Amino acid sequence: MQIVKTIEEVRKEVKQWKREGFSVGLVPTMGFLHEGHKSLIERAVKENDRVVVSDFVNPTQFGPTEDLASYPRDLERDAKLCREAGAMLLFHPEPEEMYFQDRTTSINMEGLTKELCGKSRPVHFSGVCTVVAKLFNIVTPDRAYFGEKDAQQLAVIKRMVRDLNFDIEIVGCPIIREEDGLAKSSRNTYLSPEERKAAVILSQSLKIGQEMIAQGEKDARKVKEAIVQNITTEPLAKIDYVEIVSFDTIEPISTIEGSVLTAIAVYIGKTRLIDNFILSGKGETYDNNNVKR
């Protein structure tokens, strides 16, 4: 596996692969990789001849008071995981390589970004869309892989690809969890032992909502209230949002029907964690390991 730092190197390698008739998969990441990222890479390896992993902490998706400077980084660890998973190229650029100092172009999206994380992180999705579009133009993959833990991000990327006519298949992959149910996240490293124990309240609370829906509850307000009530039993937890929305539009709904996303963001101490579950358009709910109930 090669580790490269420049756009020119990526393009040179990918062009050669395509001359040889190879399909290309892309796994965009911000580094400090874990088993969730590894599952994305392994799926990409199964479905493509060659796989590129980007390892870039993107400054444009962080607000001025967010954790850009402290976001965990470990290139050596990341490279080891990528090799084990079967990636062929690890792209690790500096911000100066990805962004011109006098840049004036960005991508903004209406609608899908006004709720959930977009409400509390107003610059976030413009940064996400801009950097992902740049990666698509640099790598020109056939498929790109994103985790369902960031469900709103997945919906936003799919809409961007549709709206801007990118010739790329977007593949969503299931949430990978710790044994106690906590969704794997690079930010879990911020948690103290006490906070780590408290963080399981996210998945436990979502499970209550899943069970209510599985038993036939259709009132979104009642499900939301039950989730909120359980989260508030944990003294270290502070709710950013608990929302039940259409997975297609990311708009709040009152009746649970069709494709539905139940998403939460909760501060455990100073660490903001997200989690969710999805109800498919066929009326199937999925548990915290994406298993149909």
Which are the catalytic amino acids?
37
Q: Which two tokens stand for residue 127?
A: 């940064």
Q: Please give the structure tokens belonging to residue 197.
A: 């124990």
Q: Tokens 């906070």 map to which residue?
A: 195
Q: Which amino acid is at 234?
A: E
Which residues share a beta bridge with 172?
A: 146
3-state class percentages of the chain: helix first, strand second, coil last, to nearest 5 = 40, 20, 40
| H or E stretch covering 101 | none
Query: What residues are paired with 28 via a beta bridge?
Result: 54
Residue 211: CA atoms inside 13 Å, Cβ hemisphere, count? 8
State the DSSP code for 286.
B
**Contact yes or no for 119/146 (Cβ under 8 A):** no
CB contact at 8 A, 260 and 247: yes
